[in-house]
């Protein structure tokens, strides 16, 4: 697998796993409109991932988009740990979503300038959706943080728990460097300060405290190392393909 394929898979896997996490919450939202919103955001991520898997399949020439989506071993998925985190409750869902939305928003704003026309086009098409995503999750952070005593306690607790995963958003390795040098990828260090500024601005308005970042010793998911949560996701995600490996969808 070359650097471009690996780079595209990382982007796709983030949205694929997060989209499926959100799908697990379907019918469990706090009220009907929000239940629909969560499902629609999940579908946005799945659609974005699908387009990227199709591109990777074209680059590969031997596998289909479904092969990349459903038929890889756990270590072959390259998503970050944040998107694997389970749906503990609505506060965790929104804190996770907010952290990722801010990242993806600034990431796609840079990716539209990619020399790779397919990546640039997909980024441009997704900007409108992600702009809605970040507005929605930011509003929920404000609503929960500056709401009742209980809602404040729960969203602060979720942030405290998820905050250790933020560093992986901006971790770069040889694949990232290769894509940057080829004018294809995004310099994650260049968007880190933007992410921090936007997040701290929203948290301040929401009367929330920026958590301290604990030492996180696990190897990163974007290199194929995952939390225990990932295996359980794949048990559900890959069940039908494992049971009917020759089925055509």
Rounded CA-CA distance 217/138 in Å is 29
pTM, two decimals, is 0.94
Question: Does residue 217 surpass a pLDDT of 80?
Answer: no
Out of 158-167, 180-189, 230-239, pick the least confident: 230-239
Do 84 and 233 meet the contact criterion of CB atoms below 8 Å apart? Answer: yes
Percent of the chain scoring above 70 in pLDDT: 96
User: How many residues are listed for the chain in this entry?
Assistant: 249
- What one-character-per-residue DSSP string does 35-79 give? HHHHHHHHHHHHHHHHHHHHHHHHHHSSS-HHHHHHS--GGG---
Question: Does residue 239 surpass a pLDDT of 90?
Answer: no
In the chain, the domains with their CATH numbers are 3-209+220-243 (1.20.1260.10)
Q: DSSP assignment, residue 30?
A: S
Rounded CA-CA distance 148/248 in Å is 50
Which pLDDT tens digit goes with each residue over 14-56? 999 999 999 987 767 777 788 788 899 999 999 999 999 999 9
Do 92 and 85 meet the contact criterion of CB atoms below 8 Å apart? Answer: yes
Question: Does residue 248 surpass a pLDDT of 70?
Answer: no
């Amino acid at each position: 697998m070359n650097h471009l394929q690996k780079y595209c898979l990382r982007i796709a896997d983030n949205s694929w796993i997060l989209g499926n996490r959100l799908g697990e919450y379907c019918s469990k939202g706090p009220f009907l409109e929000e239940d629909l919103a969560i499902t629609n955001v999940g579908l946005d991520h799945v659609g974005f991932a699908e387009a990227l898997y199709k591109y990777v399949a074209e680059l590969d020439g031997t596998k289909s988009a479904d092969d990349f989506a459903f038929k890889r071993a756990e270590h072959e998925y390259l998503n970050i740990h944040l998107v694997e985190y389970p749906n503990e409750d609505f506060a965790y869902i929104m804190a996770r979503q907010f952290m990722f939305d801010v990242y993806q928003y600034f990431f796609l704003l840079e990716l539209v300038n990619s020399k790779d026309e397919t990546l640039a086009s997909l980024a441009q098409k997704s900007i409108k959706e992600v702009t809605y995503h970040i507005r929605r999750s930011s509003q929920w952070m404000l609503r929960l943080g500056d709401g009742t005593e209980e809602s404040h306690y729960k969203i602060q607790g979720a942030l405290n728990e998820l905050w250790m995963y933020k560093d992986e958003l901006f971790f770069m390795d040889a694949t990232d460097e290769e894509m940057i040098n080829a004018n294809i990828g995004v310099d994650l260090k260049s968007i880190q300060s933007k992410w921090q500024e936007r997040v701290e601005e929203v948290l301040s308005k929401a009367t929330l405290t920026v958590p301290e970042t604990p030492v996180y010793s696990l190897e990163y998911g974007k290199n194929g190392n995952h939390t225990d949560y990932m295996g359980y996701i794949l048990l559900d995600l890959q069940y039908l393909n494992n049971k009917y490996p020759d089925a055509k969808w």
